[in-house]
Structure 1
Amino acid sequence: MNTGKGEKHHHHDHDHQEPPYHVIHKLPPGDSPYVRAKHVQLVQKDPEAAIVLFWKAINAGDRVDSALKDMAVVMKQQDRAEEAIEAIKSFRHRCSKQAQESLDNVLIDLYKKCGRIEEQIELLKQKLHMIYEGEAFNGKLTRTARSHGRKFQVTIKQETSRILGNLGWAYMQQGSYLAAEVVYQKAQSIDPDANKACNLCLCLIKQARYAAAHSVLDDVLQGKLAGSDDPKSRSRVKELLHELEACQSSLLSPKSSELCLEDAFVEGLDKLMSQWAPYRSRRLPIFEEISPYRDQLAC
């Protein structure tokens, strides 16, 4: 943030003008219920008191978009995620059209935290549908996102890949590994990274397709993907390699693994049918991608 005043670097302290108080603490200027809530949240660091003040701001109609979103995030941090979900559902109608997409993002996080997988999948599909219809980002090609105080641009492509990645994770929680695999493959073809590669590898291990799992990991090992060098990615690759070795050394009866694949395949197909039903014409490439697995099932 450009603070204007107080940016010049003088060596003499008495010359140095402090930037305004609200700038130092990253607070909005002025005095209103919302500003007071932010002050209690960021300066006094009292989340429970901040939640009460965010409610006041929402009821007073003061910066409702920000107040509802901020309150939900603080509630999530306080392990009050179920309450945050109810708050968003009850009060989002008071928020502007522009705020709805970011409220959906907060909801997806909250559903994830509460283990409400079905609702998370529903909302992710809805977001994909908005992208297909050209309604995402309020019709623009990029949007500004914030992370750790920094602003950066997110493209529709990156957003699609991120949503598909989240959808893959949700399918994995349900044990729908084939559906997860197809979704991760799609996400990787749009915007590949090491994290999704590791998740894809896990989908393949769960289906006892070890050679395919190995080749996915190789891309990360050779540093071909964004985030390959992250310490987090490196330790995950180690774990996955370990798991691969363990699985390959224990002799699985081919009969049982075949059955798992059959179940996952059918379940995955049902999921995909419902997911891409509204846009039949665009659905075809996805099914071409999974057609090779039919041969594996024929035997």
Structure 2
Amino acid sequence: LRPTKSAPCSPAKPPSGLPRTRSEAFHVVHKVPAGDTPYVRAKNVQLVEKDPDRAIPLFWAAINAGDRVDSALKDMAIVMKQQNRAEEAIEAIKSLRCRCSDQAQESLDNILLDLYKRCGRLDEQVKLLRHKLFLIHKGLAFNGRRTKTARSQGKKFQVSLQHEATRLLGNLGWALMQQNNYTEAEEAYRRALAVSPDNNKMCNLGICLMKQGRLNEAKETLRRVKPATADGDSHLKSYERAQHMLRDLESERINCGGGDRVEQSRLFETFFSSSAVWQPHPC
């Protein structure tokens, strides 16, 4: 009998998705990319050594070296915000985003919106929100796709254009309310609610109407809101705020015995100028 030959055995492979070496395990655990490039060194300092102040100039170096510029700029801006350097982060994005790809522009806009809000730069926030809504209207958002993949707390999920539009309209309404522009804020909330019902936006719409002295409309709007039943309800605070505000205004109107339109207008101006507690709840 001739001995049979068999193919040499291949070394056993680890299960798919598991790191093969200690080095790979390190990168997986710390969420640091492998290699020894300027960007990798910056991420290592940020996530492993946990030295954000030293990581910022390293991200700058990665951008100047052309190494993963999209990620380097976004990461640097986020670290700057965490270090209370939001104004610097805004200027960095504005000056360096021209080096980034088209695919990165939307993410940079989202970071800018957060930074504008942090810095109280409402005019720029409103302008950018309107621009993003314009892109959706023209079919240019999401790089022309109907959905995009988003990430929150490490989990990925799909976001539709419709959902994104209502989110942006809610943020626009909130920003306009901060500017005391209740007429345009009302319009933004109504547009959002026409697409998708939302209790929090409904509460803020009610506040917009009250700020304009339209109590009956506000009361009818709040009547359509489902009462918040638990601390976990997202609209609990805004619902309670709106109801409290409505009760106070109705009480003031009763005490004044109705009065003419000029007197009621003066009443509302006096009430709102002395009450800083009535602020919208962002949605």
* Cα distance in 1 between the residues matched to 2:180 and 2:123: 13
* Cα distance in 1 between the residues matched to 2:247 and 2:16: 55
Residue in 1 aligned with 2:249?
247
Deviating more after overlay: 246-255 vs 63-72: 246-255
Checking the alignment, whether the CA contact within 8 Å between 1:194 and 1:228 is kept in structure 2 is no
* Cα distance in 1 between the residues matched to 2:101 and 2:38: 19
Cα distance per residue 1:182-216 (max 9 Å; x no partner): 11110111133232222212212212223332333
Residue in 2 aligned with 1:96?
101
Structure 1 residue matching 2:159: 3-state secondary structure: strand
RMSD over equivalenced CA pairs, Å: 2.6
Residue in 2 aligned with 1:284?
none
- Compute the displacement of 1:260 (Å): 10
Give the total of aligned pairs.
Answer: 247
TM-score (norm: length of structure 1): 0.75
Give yes or no for the alignment of 1:158 onto 2:163. yes
- Compute the displacement of 1:42 (Å): 2.2
Structure 2 residue matching 1:91: 3-state secondary structure: helix
Percentage of identical aligned residues: 55
Q: Which has the higher helix share?
A: 1
Give yes or no for the alignment of 1:80 onto 2:85. yes
Residue in 1 aligned with 2:27?
22
TM-score (norm: length of structure 2): 0.79
Checking the alignment, whether the CA contact within 8 Å between 1:221 and 1:228 is kept in structure 2 is no
User: Which segments of 5 or more consecutive residues in structure 1 lack a partner in the other structure?
Assistant: 7-16, 262-299
Letter in 2 for 1:116: R
Residue in 2 aligned with 1:47?
52
Structure 2 residue matching 1:146: 3-state secondary structure: strand
Residue in 2 aligned with 1:5?
18
Structure 1 residue matching 2:151: 3-state secondary structure: strand
1:276-295 → structure 2 map (5 Å cutoff) = none
1:221–1:19 Cα change, 3 Å:
farther
* Cα distance in 2 between the residues matched to 1:128 and 1:244: 32
User: Which segments of 5 or more consecutive residues in structure 2 lack a partner in the other structure?
Assistant: 1-14, 269-283
1:26–1:176 Cα change, 3 Å:
same
1:217–1:47 Cα change, 3 Å:
farther
* Cα distance in 2 between the residues matched to 1:157 and 1:220: 22
